[in-house]
Every structure is written in structure tokens, then in C-alpha cells.
Amino acid sequence: MAILITGGCGYIGSHTCIEMLAAGYDIVVIDNFYNSKPEALNRVKELSGKDFPFYECDIRDEEGLRKVFSENKIDAVIHFAGLKAVGESVEKPLEYYDNNVYGTLVMYRVMKEFGCKRIVFSSSATVYGGVNPSPLKEDMPTGAVTNPYGRTKYVLEEILKDFCVSDPAFSAVLLRYFNPVGAHESGRIGEDPNGIPNNLMPFLLQVAIGKREKLSVFGNDYDTHDGTGVRDYIHVVDLARGHVKAVEYAMKNVGAQPINLGTGVGYSVLDIVKAFEKVNGVPVPYVIAPRRAGDIATCFSDPAKAAELLGWKAELTLEDMCRDSWRWQSGNPQGYDS
């Protein structure tokens, strides 16, 4: 029995490989290195002490996928592969629909051909849009998304629900991630963004290490405890462990199940800056800048369904997130090229 991990060289995928191997699963990884480097895989092997098959393969390559499925007995797929930059998706919608939506359809076709009926899919809290109040619950309406990236996640959730209706033996666990941050406690794997980071923690890390002068805090006039945006930051290792539980759960006949992976606690941008400075003793110069278009004031999860169905809850603290992020950044100032 093996679990196929698409996009397994990426940020969340590499951490999930480690946790799946630690839980005793055999894994097979595919990635096209669009947003990752082979060195991540070397480090996963080094940290886990285990080897596993890897295929440099695009999820849109049907023949390539057939080869993977015919050479391995794949019982379930954890599907991370996809493009994820919100701003880029507005400029390049075709690439996002092609890669994320078409790619997943190709993969489903091959899964079907080989009788593989279990998928754990990387969705996002973005499917809730800006219309629902936090804490966000899985039964709230979805689809009021504001960019093509978010639309690919929403559409793929709906498509996977349709597949489950058409084949009652097909299970799809739709994991809605909140804001993943942090890195493996070894400091050997972590997030290695290309270009100027969009997300808060990778940008903050580049300021802390002196690559960038200061952090722009996007707005301090939101209706939150200090005026800055509030999010549900979750340690990537907790998130990865959620996938181990989700695979176990998907093995039962569960149909399509959206499940939040968050902590249930919201922190503001300034909470993050202060916690980071305190935990690591490193200053993070910042300025207050205008609000960023498309941002909402507050977004955090109700994590009860994950606890009930998966027996999972986030355990690592904000201090762990800040400490582990900094260990990765300071030990690998150029990411995997260090």
C-alpha cells in the first residue's frame, strides 16, 4: 500500500512526506519542480532515514501519471500540486485554471483507470470568501471568492463532490488550510519562496535576516484588537500531521468531507511581529502601510470538525511557529541554495 503525494517537494508537501514516513506509510512523490527544488527531497530522505520513489512529472501529463500508477500500487493520493499565488492568479488566470483545475481532472482520470478512490485535497480557507463571520465552519456557504486562485480551490471542491456522488466508493477529504507558517524543528526543511514573498511570515523572515529593509503592515484601521489583520496561523508540522489523520479517515467510505485545518485562534500582524521579536531576540522593523486590496479584517477557523472526525488538533504554539521559522531562515539564508 502506497500513498501518492503530488507536489511533495513543496513547502507543505515536504513536511507531510516526513510525517507520513514517520507514521509508517510507504510514499511515492511526484513534482515538476515549478516551485520547489530537488534538494528538499534529499533533506526529507536525510531526516526520515528512508528512501521512496520519486518521479519528476507534471500532473497534466497523463502518460507520466499512468507510469507512476502502473509501477506502484497507489491506494490514495494527497494532492498538493498546484499554483498558489493570489496576485499572480489575477494576472495569469489561464495558467491557474490549466494547472490546478485541468491538472486535477487529468489526475482523477488516471486514478479512476487504476481504481484509486481516495483523495486528500489541499483546499483553502479562501473558499469561505469575505462574507462569513469567523470562526469559520465547514457548513457555511462557500464560493464568494475574489480571485482565480480561490476560484480554482472552490471549483475543485465542487468537482470532487460531484465525483463522490457519481461513485459512492470515492472519498475526498477537502482540507481547508488556514495560514501555514513555521518549519521542521531540525531547521533543514522550510518554505523557500521565489522572488518577493507575498505572505506575512516569509516577508518578515527576509526583513529579520536583513534581506529587506522593513515590513509593510497592510492597514492598522481594521476592526480588530490592534487594528491590524487577524489570521489563524498554523504550524506546518501540525498541518502535515493533519494529513496523516486525513488519509486514515479517507480510507473509510466518507464521501466528500470539507474539514478545516486551523488552530481556532486568531493573531494580528502586530501580534506576530512582537512574538517573533520576543522569541528570537531579533528586531523586525516595520511601517504601517495602506490596506492591501482584497484583504479582510479577520479570518480564523472553528477546528471542531477536525477534532471530531480526524481526532486531530493543532498542538504547536505561536512561539514554536516563530522559533522554527527563524531556525530555518537563519540556517538557510538562501533557502535550499544555501
- Residues with catalytic function: 149
Which of ligand UFG, ligand NAD, none lies near 203, with the C-beta cut-off 5 to 8 A by kind? ligand UFG
Three-class SS state of 61? coil
With binding defined as CB under 6 A, does residue 142 bind ligand NAD? Answer: no
Residues that bind ligand UFG (CB under 6 A): 84, 86, 124-126, 177-179, 198-200, 203, 215-218, 229, 231, 269, 292, 295
* CB 77, min distance to ligand NAD, A: 12
- Which of 54-62, 86-94, 201-209, 295-303 is the region at the interface with ligand NAD (rule: CB under 6 A)? 54-62
Cα four-point dihedral sign 1, 171, 153, 93:
positive
Annotate 257-306 with DSSP letters as a single string.
EEEEES-S--EEHHHHHHHHHHHH-----EEEEPPPTT--SEE-B--HHI
Q: How far is CA 30 from CA 53, 56, 190, in A?
A: 9, 6, 18
Rank residues 59 and 247 by Cβ distance to ligand NAD and give the closer one: 59
CA-to-CA dists, residue 284 to 201, 274, 310, angstroms: 11, 8, 37
Residue 35 contact, options ligand NAD, ligand UFG, none, Cβ 5-8 Å cut-off depending on partner type: ligand NAD
Alpha-carbon distance of 11 to 35, in angstroms, equals 9
DSSP 75: E
Task: Give the shortest CB-333-to-ligand UFG separation in angstroms.
Answer: 19
Minimum Å gap between C-beta 47 and ligand UFG is: 26
* Residue 32 contact partner, candidates ligand UFG, ligand NAD, none, CB within 5 to 8 A by sort of partner: ligand NAD
d(CA 126, CA 223): 20
User: Least CB distance from residue 230 to ligand UFG, whole Å?
Assistant: 7
CB 10 within 8 A of CB 151: no
Nearer CB in complex with ligand UFG: 151/188: 151
Q: Tell me which stretch binds ligand NAD (CB under 6 A): 19-27, 57-65, 134-142, 244-252.
A: 57-65
Q: Choose one: 41-49, 74-82, 285-293, 330-338; the region binding ligand NAD (CB under 6 A).
A: 74-82
Please give the single-letter amino acid code of residue 191. E
The HSE-up count of residue 300 (CA atoms within 13 Å, CB side) is 16
Q: Which is nearer to ligand NAD, 224 or 301 (CB)?
A: 301
| Residue 235 contacts residue 324 (beta carbons within 8 Å) | yes
One residue of 59, 74, 217, 246 binding ligand NAD per CB under 6 A: 59
102 binds ligand NAD (CB under 6 A): no
State yes or no: residue 31 binds ligand NAD (CB under 6 A). Answer: yes
Report which residue's Cβ sits closest to ligand UFG.
Answer: 229
In the complex, the smallest distance separating the C-beta of residue 126 from ligand UFG, rounded to whole angstroms, is 3
C-alpha span between 3 and 16 (Å, rounded): 11
What is the helix (H) or strand (E) element at residue 324, kind and residue range? helix 318-331
Minimal distance in Å, beta carbon 15 to ligand NAD?
8
Query: Based on CB atoms, which residue is closest to ligand NAD, 81 or 116?
Result: 81
Residues that bind ligand NAD (CB under 6 A): 6-7, 9-13, 30-36, 58-60, 80-84, 99, 103, 122, 124, 177, 180
